[in-house]
Amino acid sequence: MANETMKPWGHDLKRDPDNNMLVGPDGCHYDTPQAAFYFGVLNFCVCGVPEEVLEHLRDVLRILDARSRESRAQNPRPKYEDSAWAKRTEELDKLLGDGMLYWLTLYWLDSLDLTEHGSTVSGSWLTPEGESVLAMLNSVEDFDGAL
């Protein structure tokens, strides 16, 4: 999971003294940090299934985070197919598929500075910003009331 000392995204958002609402990075007012991130950073709308989108994002970030942490902890290094990296990559493949959604998601996360990568985006790991967003998303059990 994300670094336990990582402050969740939105911890530093200011509250409007007139209505006690959070002021998002876009200057708009929100009830929760999750809403400020969803609407104010991602610029998504509320139609469709926004709660499921946040859950899906959280799941992708959790896999990327676990893959990096578990892989670094494995010593001595096993064969690739037995490694934590390979197992977590399989989970990511199941979640995203192996088509354009996989690549689009990884490029999108990289463009938001939530991930970093070396020679290929498929080997991404979370940035401190990505860890912070994951901590914020992990702080919610049920996204139904988060937006």
Report yes or no on 145 lying in a domain.
Answer: no
Per-residue model confidence (pLDDT) at position 98: 82
In the 8-state DSSP scheme, what is residue 15?
Answer: E
Report yes or no on 2 lying in a domain.
Answer: no
Query: For residue 84, which of 50, 125, 53 has the smallest C-alpha distance?
Result: 125
Backbone torsions φ then ψ of 60, nearest 5 degrees: -65, -45
Report yes or no on 1 lying in a domain.
Answer: no
**pTM for this one?**
0.91
Q: What is the mean pLDDT of the chain?
A: 93
| Helices and strands, number each (H, E), in the chain | 5, 5
Per-residue model confidence (pLDDT) at position 2: 53
Report yes or no on 35 lying in a domain.
Answer: yes
CB 105 within 8 A of CB 6: no
Report yes or no on 86 lying in a domain.
Answer: yes
How far is Cα 54 from Cα 131, in angstroms, rounded to an integer? 15
First to last CA, the chain: 23
Report yes or no on 8 lying in a domain.
Answer: no
Per-residue model confidence (pLDDT) at position 74: 87
SS3 68: helix
Per-residue model confidence (pLDDT) at position 16: 98
- Domains: count for the chain: 1
Report yes or no on 54 lying in a domain.
Answer: yes
Report yes or no on 9 lying in a domain.
Answer: no
Q: Domain range spanning residue 133? A: 14-140
Instruction: Give tens-digit pLDDT for 45-61.
Output: 999 999 999 999 999 99
Per-residue model confidence (pLDDT) at position 118: 84
How deeply is 57 buried, as exposed, middle or buried, from its count of CB atoms within 10 A (0-12, 13-18, 19+)?
buried
Counting as low any pLDDT under 50, the low residues of the chain are none
